[in-house]
């Protein structure tokens, strides 16, 4: 409460000290009045007044970890589904003797280099590692994580669909595909588990199955991780962005050099990943789009899921960083706001 | 000018009050003083204390007053020998017969920019772009045709839809007939639209871009023929003339099998027929009144049946159709959201849509369109738009 009397009429501003409560809706204010020259001889009244500001605003970027957990489950489910579909599709891949690799422009120009695919996978692991570290240091981890899981899940879901409906033959005679298990479900489940545990990478020896060509999951990971790294880091770190871009681009090109995917797989994967990322983030960042009637962006099938995740996020997520352990900020810190002491004099 | 010079203070005050310049009304000017007011007078007190705009408004009104009085004086036959701003010489005799019945052109201020300017040049450019993309696609099909593996060597790829449904021979004709009906309907609807140029521009741009993407995907990886029923023309290794002739034939037939122009193979990823069916339906739905739900339903059915028949005829792989549908719908919605939101027409950090490669072209096409294009219709040929009709003004009567 602020009680103020006009100057010269009596007391100056009466104030009370604010006892350390970090109340976001209140302001503590002290107003000087009277003659400051008379400071020295007069006992100092350290009086502060709390002005309560009405209607404390909702936090524009709430954490909501439970939504992130749901997104994580969605992504995990889709990854497992992808693995199962790969196993199913593997049975239908035509033998490479019967169905030779399709003509591909890139393969015509560049011959196969054996170790290129390891480069891709190493780059992919580095990028995912960097993104993981960056994510740990983000202040708004839950929101960024939620978005990442959702996009990964959706991209892999699309991938399941395209892999399943039409099966492309192997891109090169060098590919060794595991033998087909006609109807042997137990062995299939084992393969699925092996693939999951190895993360789907050839470098870990888990990816022996063929048929998952349209579109390329490696390209998706490389592109998406780079986009997220770039989006959620400060704009001034151009060297960092450039480095990650190089890792990503080199990785993608090496997929083709290794003749592990057709060019169309890589191009389609890049296209779908970048468009989905931009679409989602534009919808999330531009608040006016959400309420505008002619927003065609809401015609996608995942719009309700988007609304669920992003309903309470009201601004663009800033790239602020903090130590992983001490966020949320209410641990250990003294939350008293300190104001410079202002002398309030009493006047007769 | 004599009249003004002789104005007493009372008249000046009345005039000032009439003009809404009451702040000067207690300055006690007479006509003589009024006419000799200048800008510098307003810079010093007492006028600087009452004026709010440096006296500009008052000076303008004095000028107008002078002109009005000049006309009157001229009409009344006063010839005082100074310059006549209205053209023509001042006649000394002061008779009414000397008054020249001249008409003066009053320059109207520029009409306000309309919200939906008709810029046919831009539509022309978009049309040129679409045409280039079509021709390029045809050339590309011709090139890719040479690289399609023979169906004996590379059998058709396993496809889930083909496993479930056997081939129906006449299905592809249905698809093409549906496509032609939809395109015809869209064309008729376009003719009736009021903002033809804007909508046409959008259609050409989107179609062009989709076919351009199609060129790329067709070219980089060549899928084998989806069925053994395909009859592909023989390959012409390096024979440019015949290839050109094939390209012409295909363009002339619109790329349809029904016209017998599409005998080349290899253009599978992704399906152009799906693109046309989907896109024309989206445009028809977008630019027709909401209450014509039966019309939208008919077109939707035509579109869906057409797409289903593509697959039924085993003329494209399922992935071709799915990818075509996805790319078409996303591009359409993306473009139209950008076009309808002013905020998205400016590149900004939150506006990721500005990162597409065609953003500059989009800005060029849509920068002057403000707001959502309303669904208004009129007959294509309206009488008042014919070039030889213009508005006639009746001559001003002079007293």
CB pairs under 8 A between A and B: 129
Q: Is B329 on the interface with A (CB under 8 A)?
A: yes
- DSSP letters for B200-233: HHHHHHHHHHHHHHHHHHHHHB-PPPS-TT--PP
Q: What is the pLDDT of residues B54-74, one digit of tens each?
A: 778 888 888 888 888 776 666
* CA separation for the pair B68, B64 (Å, rounded): 6
Residue of B221, B271, B320, B324 to mutate for A, most A C-beta atoms under 10 A: B221
With 80 as the cut, is the pLDDT of residue A331 above it? no
* CA separation for the pair B92, B79 (Å, rounded): 6
How many angstroms away from the CA of A8 is the closest CA of chain B?
35
| CB neighbourhood size of B275 (10 A) | 22
Q: Which active-site residues of A does the annotation give?
A: 218, 261, 265
Q: What is the pLDDT of residues B370-393, one digit of tens each?
A: 877 877 787 776 555 555 555 556
Cα-to-chain-centroid distance, residue B161: 42
User: B148: which chain A residues are within 8 Å (Cβ-Cβ)?
Assistant: 103
- Tokens 């929101």 locate to A143
Q: Is A253 on the interface with B (CB under 8 A)?
A: no
Report yes or no: A210 and A86 within 8 Å, Cβ to Cβ.
no
Mean pLDDT of B9-36: 80
Average pLDDT over all residues of chain B: 81
CA angle B280/B281/B284 to nearest 5° reads 85
User: B354: which chain A residues are within 8 Å (Cβ-Cβ)?
Assistant: none
Mean pLDDT of A128-157: 92
Residue A214: closest CA among A271, A281, A283: A271
Give me the residue from A102, A279, A297 closest to B222, CB to CB.
Answer: A102
Radius of gyration of chain B (CA): 36
Residue A268 backbone phi and psi in degrees, to 5: -65, -40
Report yes or no: A47 and A30 within 8 Å, Cβ to Cβ.
yes
Q: Is A303 on the interface with B (CB under 8 A)?
A: no
How many angstroms away from the CA of A31 is the closest CA of chain B?
38
Q: Exposed/middle/buried for A57, CB within 10 Å: 0-12, 13-18, 19+? A: exposed
CA angle B168/B169/B171 to nearest 5° reads 75
User: B341: which chain A residues are within 8 Å (Cβ-Cβ)?
Assistant: 286, 288-289, 292, 294-295
* CA separation for the pair A266, A251 (Å, rounded): 11
- The pLDDT, as a whole number, for residue A334 is 60
* CA separation for the pair A253, A109 (Å, rounded): 13
Q: Is B319 on the interface with A (CB under 8 A)?
A: yes
Assign A138 to helix, strand or coil: strand
Mean pLDDT of B191-206: 90
Active-site annotation holds for B336: no
| CB neighbourhood size of A183 (10 A) | 8
Question: Angle of helix B318-340 relative to helix B272-286, nearest 10 degrees?
Answer: 30
**Inter-chain CB proximity A100 and B149 less than 8 Å:** yes
Q: Is A320 on the interface with B (CB under 8 A)?
A: no
* CA separation for the pair B349, B345 (Å, rounded): 12
- Segment 188-217 of chain B within 8 Å of chain A by CB: 216-217
User: B337: which chain A residues are within 8 Å (Cβ-Cβ)?
Assistant: 289, 294-297
**Inter-chain CB proximity A279 and B350 less than 8 Å:** no
How many angstroms away from the CA of B162 is the closest CA of chain A?
9
Give me the residue from A271, A278, A296 closest to B333, CB to CB.
Answer: A296
Residue A348, both tokens: 């007769």
**Inter-chain CB proximity A282 and B154 less than 8 Å:** no
Q: Which residue of A has its CA nearest to B221?
A: A104
- The pLDDT, as a whole number, for residue A323 is 74
Q: Is A236 on the interface with B (CB under 8 A)?
A: no
**Inter-chain CB proximity B154 and A288 less than 8 Å:** no
Biggest CA–CA distance in chain B, Å, is: 110
Residue B186: pLDDT band (50, 70, 90) is very high
Quick one: which H or E segment has residue A326? none
Question: Angle of helix A238-257 relative to helix A217-231, nearest 10 degrees?
Answer: 170
With 50 as the cut, is the pLDDT of residue A10 above it? no
* B108-115 own/partner pairs: CB under 8 Å, 24+ apart: B113/B368, B115/B369, B115/B370, B115/B371
Across A72-86, A201-215, B55-69, the highest mean pLDDT is recorded for A72-86
Residue B211, both tokens: 């076919």
In b/e form, how buried is each residue of B71-94, taking b as 16+ CB within 10 angstroms? eebbeeeebeeeeeeeeeeeeeee
Residue of A90, A103, A162, A227 to mutate for B, most B C-beta atoms under 10 A: A103
User: A272: which chain B residues are within 8 Å (Cβ-Cβ)?
Assistant: 326
Residue of B149, B220, B336 to mutate for A, most A C-beta atoms under 10 A: B220
- The pLDDT, as a whole number, for residue A336 is 57
Specify the length of chain B in residues. Answer: 399
- The pLDDT, as a whole number, for residue A19 is 42
* CA separation for the pair A225, A228 (Å, rounded): 5
Report yes or no: B354 and A279 within 8 Å, Cβ to Cβ.
no
With 70 as the cut, is the pLDDT of residue B221 above it? yes
Give me the residue from B318, B334, B372 closest to A294, CB to CB.
Answer: B372
Q: Is A6 on the interface with B (CB under 8 A)?
A: no
**Inter-chain CB proximity A102 and B332 less than 8 Å:** no
Half-sphere exposure of A300 (CA within 13 A, CB side): 21
Residue A297: closest CA among B65, B106, B246, B329: B329
Specify the length of chain A in residues. Answer: 348
Residue B227: pLDDT band (50, 70, 90) is confident
Q: Which residue of B has its CA nearest to A169?
A: B157
CA quadruple B365, B371, B375, B381: dihedral sign: negative
Mean pLDDT of B293-316: 92
Assign 3-class secondary structure to A284-306.
HHCHHHHHCCCCHHHHCCCHHHH
With 80 as the cut, is the pLDDT of residue B83 above it? no
Helices (H), chain A: 65-90, 105-109, 116-137, 141-165, 185-197, 217-231, 238-257, 263-285, 287-291, 303-310
Q: What is the pLDDT of residues A116-132, one digit of tens each?
A: 888 999 999 999 999 99
Residue B203: closest CA among B339, B9, B322: B339
Q: Is A288 on the interface with B (CB under 8 A)?
A: yes
| CB neighbourhood size of B231 (10 A) | 8
Give me the residue from A92, A105, A235 closest to B219, CB to CB.
Answer: A105
With 90 as the cut, is the pLDDT of residue A319 above it? no
Give me the residue from A99, A104, A295 closest to B221, CB to CB.
Answer: A104
A344 pairs with which residues across the strands? A45
Residue A38: pLDDT band (50, 70, 90) is very low
Half-sphere exposure of B373 (CA within 13 A, CB side): 25
From residue B328, alpha-carbon distances to A345, B138, B288, B304, B352 in Å are: 74, 19, 19, 14, 19
How many angstroms away from the CA of B206 is the closest CA of chain A?
15
**Inter-chain CB proximity B355 and A99 less than 8 Å:** no
With 70 as the cut, is the pLDDT of residue A259 above it? yes
Higher pLDDT, residue A42 or B391: B391
Residue A53: pLDDT band (50, 70, 90) is low
Q: Is B269 on the interface with A (CB under 8 A)?
A: yes
Average pLDDT over all residues of chain A: 79
Give this complex's ipTM: 0.74
Higher pLDDT, residue A46 or A179: A179
Give me the residue from A99, A103, A295 closest to B147, CB to CB.
Answer: A103
Give me the residue from B158, B216, B322 closest to A94, CB to CB.
Answer: B158
């Amino acid at each position: 409460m602020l009680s103020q009397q006009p100057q010269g009429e009596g007391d100056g501003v009466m104030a009370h000290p604010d006892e350390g409560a970090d109340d976001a809706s209140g302001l503590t204010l002290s107003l000087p009045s009277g003659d400051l020259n008379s400071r020295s001889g007069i006992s100092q009244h350290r009086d502060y007044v709390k002005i309560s500001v009405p209607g404390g605003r909702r936090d524009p970027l709430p954490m909501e970890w439970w939504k992130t957990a749901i997104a994580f489950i969605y992504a995990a489910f889709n990854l497992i589904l992808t693995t199962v579909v790969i196993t199913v599709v593997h049975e239908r891949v035509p033998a490479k003797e019967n169905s030779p690799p399709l003509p591909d422009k890139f393969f015509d120009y560049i011959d196969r280099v054996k170790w290129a695919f390891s480069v891709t996978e190493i780059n992919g692991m580095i990028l995912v590692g960097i993104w993981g570290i960056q994510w740990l240091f983000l202040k708004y981890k839950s929101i960024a994580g939620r978005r990442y899981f959702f996009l990964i899940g959706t991209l892999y879901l699309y991938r399941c669909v395209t892999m399943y409906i039409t099966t492309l033959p192997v891109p090169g005679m060098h590919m060794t595909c595991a033998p087909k298990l006609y109807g042997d479900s137990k062995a299939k489940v084992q393969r699925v588990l092996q693939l999951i545990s190895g993360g789907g990478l050839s470098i870990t020896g888990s990816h022996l199955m063929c048929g998952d060509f349209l579109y390329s999951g490696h390209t998706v990971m490389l592109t998406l991780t780079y986009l997220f790294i770039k989006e959620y880091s400060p704009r001034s770190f151009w060297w960092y962005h450039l480095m990650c871009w190089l890792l990503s681009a080199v990785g993608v090109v090496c997929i083709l050099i290794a003749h592990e995917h057709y060019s169309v797989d890589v191009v389609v994967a890049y296209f779908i990943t970048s468009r989905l990322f931009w679409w989602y983030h534009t919808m999330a960042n531009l608040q006016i789009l959400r309420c505008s009637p002619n927003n065609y962006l809401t015609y996608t099938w995942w719009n309700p899921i988007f609304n669920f995740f992003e309903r309470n996020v009201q601004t663009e997520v800033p790239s602020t960083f903090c130590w992983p352990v001490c966020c949320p900020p209410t641990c250990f810190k003294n939350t008293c706001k300190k104001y410079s002491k202002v002398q309030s004099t009493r006047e007769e | 000018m004599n009249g003004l010079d002789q104005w007493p203070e009372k008249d000046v005050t009345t005039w000032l009050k009439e003009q809404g310049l009451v702040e000067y009304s207690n300055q006690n000017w007479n006509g003589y003083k009024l006419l000799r007011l200048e800008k510098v007078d307003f810079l010093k007190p007492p006028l600087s204390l009452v004026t709010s705009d440096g006296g500009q408004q008052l000076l303008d009104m004095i000028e107008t007053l002078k002109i009005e009085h000049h006309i009157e004086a001229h009409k009344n036959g006063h010839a005082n020998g100074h310059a006549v701003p209205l053209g023509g010489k001042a006649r000394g005799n002061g008779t009414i017969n000397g008054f020249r019945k001249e008409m003066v052109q009053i320059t109207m201020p520029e009409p306000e920019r309309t919200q939906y300017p008709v810029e046919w040049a831009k539509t022309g450019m978009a049309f040129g772009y679409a045409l280039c993309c079509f021709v390029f696609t045809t050339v590309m099909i011709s090139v890719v045709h040479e690289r399609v593996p023979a169906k004996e060597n590379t059998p058709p790829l396993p496809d889930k839809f083909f496993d479930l449904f056997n081939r129906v021979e006449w299905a592809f004709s249905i698809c093409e007939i549906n496509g032609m009906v939809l395109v015809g309907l869209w064309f008729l609807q376009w003719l009736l639209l009021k903002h033809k140029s804007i909508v046409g521009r959008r259609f050409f741009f989107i179609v062009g871009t989709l076919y351009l993407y199609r060129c790329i995907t067709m070219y980089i990886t060549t899928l084998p023929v989806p069925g053994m029923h395909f009859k592909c023309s023989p390959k012409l290794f390096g024979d440019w003339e015949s290839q050109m002739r094939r390209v012409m034939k295909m363009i002339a037939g619109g790329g349809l099998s029904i016209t017998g122009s599409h005998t080349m193979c290899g253009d599978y990823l992704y399906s152009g027929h799906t693109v046309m069916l989907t896109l024309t339906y989206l445009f028809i739905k977008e630019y027709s009144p909401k209450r014509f739900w039966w019309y939208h339903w008919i077109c939707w059915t035509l579109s869906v049946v057409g797409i289903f028949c593509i697959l039924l005829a085993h003329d494209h792989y399922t992935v071709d159709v799915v990818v075509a549908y996805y790319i078409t719908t996303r591009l359409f919605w993306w473009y139209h959201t950008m076009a309808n939101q002013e905020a998205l027409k400016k590149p900004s950090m939150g506006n990721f849509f500005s990162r597409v490669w065609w953003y500059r072209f989009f800005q060029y096409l849509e920068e002057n369109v403000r707001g959502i294009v309303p669904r208004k219709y009129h007959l294509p040929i309206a009488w008042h738009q014919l070039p030889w009709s213009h508005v006639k003004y009746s001559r001003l009567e002079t007293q």
